[in-house]
């Protein structure tokens, strides 16, 4: 079996085969743990998109005509391969993203959960039937695939986020083209190879590596019927507007600024543990990371900050190769610089920098050049500050103090992004009211990262989602299919005169 490691460079996967062009432009792939590069990714453009779409369109009729149960069985074989080789995939993810091995394994597991839900697509595709809606007239509806669809995915989950998309798309009878992040592209090739090994026909799943040129080509290509995207809010807005202008169905998930409201009756040990994991897990490079803690009351805020200072000081930062690491490096040197810039901005804007992650220095031999940053904690953050308004996407937690539950709720309502939110309390009435009244797409009650299970659907509100459909779950089936209604009658020999009025069947 040929794998992505068999060549120095990472290329495309089109028509069931690797495509690695010698004269194409390339971009270095870095190991965030060391800062070194041993490989590069080939950057495609409109030509490679054309090739992938042509291969997908050639394969689509046969794949769509395959009984849905057989498609599910092919995906089940892929699930078996994923489970069998999850360690391999997790190591590849860690080597290019930087997250710890256990975190990478967790990502793979959550992706497989969506795959397992996709096995049930035959049930969700079966449609409805009504007999005798009129004189000798029956009616039924079915859901049919769109054709060729594409996914544009971010660096932070090179396995899980694509699996939010393509298992549902394939199970529904579509062909899928993946444009992964060029920062950590190797996982996409492993998944493509294993899908082929599981029995997915050539062309049904393709991978085109690249940057903006590939994105724009997918958005404008007449052979692509739908686009799924996960990334920042400005790019999501552009993806949605451009795709819609070209007549495509689009779901574009944008950025986030996730709050955790802590009420005075909350268990502070539970809160502290939850904040540590949700703010600093995966170095904060998660769209569901909690980046704003909102304690209600000065006494609670003082106690929480004191606990966090102690815990952040003990945070074990290091490479994935060190099993004791709780947080790895950031993904690139550029992103490290960006996050450091936000810390500097927070200080200049008047927030209190209680713990400065810039003081962290990697001491393990061979890892001094990695993109490491310790956890940072700001207190007395205000809504006007950039560290509150913007998605930092790094290990930076801000504390915004509020005097009442109502003030905390109003704070959240005022933010333009509304992806995820959490409340920690022992008060069932307060929790129920919060879940009902907060204007955010995903809510956790004593759960810091409320990512829905695969049989529900993932998506935010306001600037965190552009389009009508969330991803995976039943929403995924609705997005990747179109509804067709059929009304039929078989003549029984009687002659009918023409009707010139609106027909009524009842």
Quote the tokens at residue 430. Answer: 């307060």
Distance CA 258, CA 442 (A): 10
Is pLDDT above 70 for 506?
Answer: no
Q: Which among 393, 417, 445 is the end of a domain?
A: 445
Distance CA 143, CA 346 (A): 51
- 439 with 406, same domain? yes
pLDDT at 135: 81
- Per-residue pLDDT of 331-386, as tens digits, reads 999 999 999 999 999 999 999 999 999 999 988 899 999 999 999 999 999 999 99
pLDDT at 7: 55
Is pLDDT above 70 for 4?
Answer: no
Distance CA 280, CA 299 (A): 24
157 is a domain residue: yes
- Per-residue pLDDT of 56-109, as tens digits, reads 999 999 999 999 999 999 999 999 999 999 999 999 999 999 999 999 999 999
79 is a domain residue: yes
490 is a domain residue: no
Burial 72-109 (b: 16+ CB within 10 A, else e): bebbeebbebbeeebeebbebbbbbbbbbbebbbbbbe
Q: What backbone torsions phi and psi does residue 393 show, to the nearest 5 degrees?
A: 60, 45
Confidence of residue 204 (pLDDT cuts 50, 70, 90): very high
Q: Is 126 exposed, middle or buried (0-12, 13-18, 19+ CB in 10 A)?
A: exposed
Q: Is 224 exposed, middle or buried (0-12, 13-18, 19+ CB in 10 A)?
A: buried
pLDDT at 188: 98
244 is a domain residue: yes
- 146 with 273, same domain? no
* pLDDT (average), residues 399-415: 98
Task: Please identify every residue annotated as catalytic.
Answer: 287
**CATH code for position 349:** 3.40.309.10
459 is a domain residue: no
Task: Rounding to the nearest 10 degrees, give the CA dihedral for residues 423, 427, 431, 433.
Answer: -130
- 220 with 278, same domain? no
- 182 with 314, same domain? no
Confidence of residue 1 (pLDDT cuts 50, 70, 90): very low
Q: Which domain holds residue 404?
A: 258-445
- Per-residue pLDDT of 165-185, as tens digits, reads 999 999 999 999 999 999 999
Longest dimension (CA), the chain: 91
Distance CA 392, CA 342 (A): 7
- 265 with 412, same domain? yes
495 is a domain residue: no
- 303 with 346, same domain? yes
- 29 with 131, same domain? yes
Q: Is 211 exposed, middle or buried (0-12, 13-18, 19+ CB in 10 A)?
A: middle
List all residues 6 or more positions away from 377 whose beta carbon is below 8 Å from its beta carbon. 305, 308, 309, 312, 353, 354, 355, 397, 398, 399
- 221 with 272, same domain? no
- 45 with 128, same domain? yes
494 is a domain residue: no
This prediction's pTM = 0.95
**CATH code for position 172:** 3.40.605.10
pLDDT at 501: 82
Strand-strand pairing, 396-399 and 290-295? parallel
Q: What backbone torsions phi and psi does residue 473 show, to the nearest 5 degrees?
A: 65, -160
- 160 with 131, same domain? yes
- 207 with 232, same domain? yes
- 266 with 388, same domain? yes
pLDDT at 490: 87
Nearest alpha carbon to residue 391 among 446, 338, 330, 459: 338
503 is a domain residue: no
Count of domains observed in the chain: 2
DSSP secondary structure code for residue 471 in this structure: B
């Amino acid at each position: 079996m040929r794998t992505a490691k068999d060549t120095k460079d990472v290329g495309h996967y089109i028509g069931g085969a690797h495509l690695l062009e010698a004269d194409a432009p390339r971009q270095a792939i870095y190991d965030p743990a060391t800062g070194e590069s041993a490989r590069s990714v080939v950057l495609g453009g409109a030509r490679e998109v054309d090739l992938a779409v042509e291969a997908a369109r050639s394969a689509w009729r046969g794949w769509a005509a395959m009984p849905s149960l057989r498609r599910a069985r092919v995906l089940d074989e892929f699930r078996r391969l994923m489970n069998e080789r999850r360690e391999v995939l997790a190591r590849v993810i860690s080597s290019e993203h930087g997250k710890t091995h256990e975190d990478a394994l967790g990502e793979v597991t959550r992706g497989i959960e969506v795959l397992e839900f996709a096995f049930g697509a035959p049930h969700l595709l079966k449609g409805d039937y009504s007999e005798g809606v009129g004189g000798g007239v029956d009616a039924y509806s079915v859901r049919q695939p769109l054709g060729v669809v594409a996914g544009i995915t971010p660096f932070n989950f090179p396995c899980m986020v694509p699996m939010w998309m393509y298992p549902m798309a394939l199970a529904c009878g579509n062909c899928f083209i993946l444009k992964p992040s060029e920062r950590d592209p190797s996982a996409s090739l492993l998944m493509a190879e294993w899908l082929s090994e599981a029995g997915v026909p050539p062309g049904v799943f393709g991978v085109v590596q690249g940057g903006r040129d590939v994105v724009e080509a997918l958005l404008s290509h007449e052979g692509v019927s739908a686009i799924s995207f996960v990334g920042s809010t400005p790019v999501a807005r552009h993806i949605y507007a451009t795709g819609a202008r070209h007549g495509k169905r689009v779901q574009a998930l944008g950025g986030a600024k996730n709050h955790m409201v802590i009420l005075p009756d909350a268990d502070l040990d539970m809160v502290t543990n939850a904040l540590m994991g949700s703010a600093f897990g995966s170095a904060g490079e998660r769209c569901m990371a909690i980046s704003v803690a909102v304690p209600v009351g000065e006494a609670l805020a003082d106690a929480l900050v004191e606990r966090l200072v102690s815990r952040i000081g003990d945070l074990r930062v290091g490479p994935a190769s060190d099993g004791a690491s709780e947080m790895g490096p950031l993904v690139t040197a550029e992103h490290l610089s960006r996050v450091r810039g936000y810390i500097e901005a927070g200080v200049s804007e008047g927030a209190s920098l209680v713990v400065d992650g810039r003081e962290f220095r990697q001491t393990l031999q061979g890892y001094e050049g990695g993109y490491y940053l310790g956890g940072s904690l700001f207190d007395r953050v205000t809504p006007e500050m950039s560290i509150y308004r913007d998605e930092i996407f790094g290990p930076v937690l801000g504390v915004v103090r509020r005097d009442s539950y109502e003030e905390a709720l109003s704070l959240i309502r005022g933010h333009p992004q509304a992806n995820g939110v959490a409340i920690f309390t022992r008060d069932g009435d307060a929790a129920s009211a919060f879940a009902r009244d907060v204007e955010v797409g995903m809510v956790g009650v004593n759960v810091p990262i409320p990512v829905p299970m695969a049989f529900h659907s993932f998506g935010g509100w306001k600037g965190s989602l552009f389009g009508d459909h969330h991803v995976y779950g039943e929403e995924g089936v609705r997005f990747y299919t179109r509804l067709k209604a059929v009304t039929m009658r078989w003549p029984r020999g009687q002659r009918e005169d023409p009707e010139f009025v609106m027909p009524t069947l009842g």
